[in-house]
Amino acid sequence: MKLSFSKRKSGGAAGQVDFSRLPRHIAIILDGNGRWAQRRGLPRTAGHKVGAETFRTIATYCRDIGIEYLTVYAFSTENWKRPKDEVDTIMGLLKRYLLEAIDTMERDNVRLRFMGDMSVLSDELKALVDRCNAISARLTGCQCNICINYGGRAEIVHAARDFAIDCGAGKVKPEDLTEELFEKYLYSAGIPSPELLIRPGGEQRLSNFLLWQCAYAEFYYTDVLWPDFSKEELHRAIAAYQHRDRRFGGIKK
């Protein structure tokens, strides 16, 4: 059900949110699942399972309030270093989510896009990603970008390599390169850059996430671990964003 928040504000401890001027694109680093579980004496895999449910809740809410794009850091190129049982759990949760998405995307009019190197995923996961992409091509609603086996530096290197290949093939010339042209070679081609980057879990770094795209994003950090991240915490992040003075290198008139 589509909710109407036009010209309304959320109040209370979560801060004042003007739903008539929300950021168009929000990016979130899903951090703190393992620590959430360890603090409760549970295996790290339990935190990922709860974190997956939090993702569903927040993604659905972003759609309902009118966020056009949501990009989440689900699994980085560095996360392969984690214990095998933890990696297997994350991949199992991804499979479950993709199967559910295939059944509900058209009903909910939610598009999915996957950013990262998909070549290392299992054949089963790659087939599910392809099915989601095919369904998304027919839809027009909120787009959720899921970064899997993703690294910001790797993305830039991949884009530079593809541009070099096109130069060698005579499709473009080195002197043709501009920021706008280079963006067309990124995984995020055609997607506006995030205005707001949220990092739960207490850490204050990008961790190789959307290095190019977040050049002018507003950062919001919180000590709340991702499994405990709520709609109210999202309100706090958006309210903080709406109070920022975004000058993009200029001065306010």
Axis crossing angle, helix 123-136 with helix 84-108, rounded to the nearest 10: 20
Catalytic residue among 31, 33, 145, 149: 31
Active site annotation includes 149: no
Active site annotation includes 31: yes
Angle at 196 between CA 177 and CA 2, to 5 degrees: 115
Reduce the secondary structure of 153-219 to three states and give it as a string.
HHHHHHHHHHHHHHHHCCCCCHHHCCHHHHHCCCCCCCCCCCCEEEECCCCCCCCCCCCCCCCCCEE
Catalytic residue among 64, 79, 108, 166: 79
CA distances in angstroms from 250 to 59, 125, 243, listed in the order given: 33, 45, 17
User: How distant is the alpha carbon of residue 135 from its chain centre?
Assistant: 19
Point out the residues that are catalytic: 31, 79
